[in-house]
């Protein structure tokens, strides 16, 4: 179906939802059951839901006695190897009361560039959805290198949404809206709707930040949302705390309207 407005998310047939490390890791892990409840409600009405979840490295950090995100690649890979296992376990436990089974998909940027890998990933995701499994997608941090990383899972979510021809993409953040400038600055105003061809050059989105658990920022979400919208996928950016409202089609967040004539697929990693 064509999702022209955020209200249409309530009836969308295929939805990709992305959540960041800071929203579901450490002391914020209490949000996992809340997030899963919203996904399960959409699943129950018949929607096909895919979750792109960051958090492997952040989840693994306490098991390696790390107080902050490691900076060297080898320790990041080790933390991810431990954390991905725990993260998916937590999701599956939260899904259990709803009778939903999770399926884990780990991807690298190279998987989108290689036609065979891309086709295999697409086929696996499609089959999981056919079987009513909820795919949980993350970057394969244990094999990714600094040179070939996505850089953030917002972009990964946009690429996954395009790969499976999703009807809508929901990017969950720490704030309810995007703003005309960083929300802590004077004159910052929330953005409601952004047209697919809008000129955003006058707006000031925060650059990528690296906090104690993950990477990301408003700029990465804008870039990912515009990528998805250019391919005909309406995208909502809002707070993780508002995920239930987002999936119910309520008027929350910042909506990136889809382009009426989606861009050519081209190379999916571009």
The binding site comprises 18, 54, 141, 153, 173-174
Dihedral over Cα of 28, 9, 257, 177: its sign: negative
Residue 62's pLDDT band, with cuts at 50, 70 and 90, is very high
Average confidence (pLDDT) over 177-193: 86
Residue 28 per-residue DSSP state? G
Q: At residue 266, does pLDDT exceed 50?
A: no
Q: At residue 132, does pLDDT exceed 80?
A: yes
Answer with the residue of higher pLDDT: 184 or 20: 20
Distances, alpha carbon 210 to alpha carbons 7, 71, 177, in Å:
33, 10, 20
The binding site for substrate comprises 54, 141, 153
Q: If residue 122 lies in a helix (H) or strand (E), which one and from where to where?
A: helix 115-130
Number of Cβ atoms within 10 Å of the Cβ of 124: 13
Weakest mean pLDDT among 71-75, 95-99, 149-153, 226-230: 149-153
For residue 145, the model assigns a pLDDT of 63
Q: Could you read off the pLDDT of 69-84 as tens digits, one per residue? A: 888 889 989 999 999 9
Q: Could you read off the pLDDT of 30-60 as tens digits, one per residue? A: 999 999 999 999 999 999 999 999 999 999 9
For the sheet with 254-256, list strands across it.
102-107, 134-139, 48-53, 14-19, 168-173, 234-239, 254-256, 193-194
Strands 134-139 and 102-107: parallel
Residue 114's pLDDT band, with cuts at 50, 70 and 90, is very high
50 alpha-carbon distance from chain centroid:
9
Dihedral over Cα of 152, 52, 172, 255: its sign: positive
Architecture category of domain 6-256 in CATH: 3-Layer(aba) Sandwich (3.40)
Cβ-contact 137, 52 below 8 angstroms: yes
For residue 216, the model assigns a pLDDT of 52
pTM score, two decimals? 0.91
The binding site for ATP comprises 18, 173-174
Q: At residue 207, does pLDDT exceed 70?
A: no
Cβ-contact 33, 94 below 8 angstroms: yes
Residue 202's pLDDT band, with cuts at 50, 70 and 90, is confident
Cβ-contact 16, 172 below 8 angstroms: no
Tokens 């930040």 locate to: 209
For residue 169, the model assigns a pLDDT of 98
């Amino acid at each position: 179906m064509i999702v022209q407005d955020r209200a249409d998310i309530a009836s969308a047939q295929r939805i990709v939802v992305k959540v960041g490390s800071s929203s579901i890791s450490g002391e914020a892990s209490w949000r996992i059951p809340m997030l899963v409840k919203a996904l399960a409600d959409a699943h129950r009405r018949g929607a096909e839901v895919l979750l792109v979840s960051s958090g492997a490295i952040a989840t693994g950090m306490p098991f390696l006695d790390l107080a902050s995100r490691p900076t060297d690649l080898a320790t990041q890979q080790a933390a991810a190897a431990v954390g991905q296992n725990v993260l998916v376990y937590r999701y599956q436990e939260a899904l259990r009361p709803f009778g939903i089974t999770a399926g884990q998909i780990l991807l690298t940027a190279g998987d989108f560039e290689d036609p065979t890998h891309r086709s295999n990933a697409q086929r696996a995701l499609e089959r999981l959805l056919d079987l009513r499994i909820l795919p949980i997608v993350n970057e394969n941090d244990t094999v990714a290198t600094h040179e070939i990383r996505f850089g953030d899972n917002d972009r990964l979510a946009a690429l996954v949404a395009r790969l499976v021809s999703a009807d809508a993409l929901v990017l969950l953040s720490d704030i309810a809206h995007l703003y005309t400038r960083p929300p802590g600055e004077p004159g910052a105003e929330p953005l409601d709707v952004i047209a697919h061809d809008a000129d955003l050059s006058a707006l000031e989105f925060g650059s990528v930040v690296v906090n104690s658990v993950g990477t990301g920022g408003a700029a990465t979400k804008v870039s990912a949302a515009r990528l998805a919208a250019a391919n005909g996928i309406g995208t909502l950016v809002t707070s993780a705390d508002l995920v239930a409202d987002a999936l119910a089609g309520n008027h929350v967040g910042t909506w990136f309207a889809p382009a009426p004539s989606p861009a050519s697929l081209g190379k999916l990693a571009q």
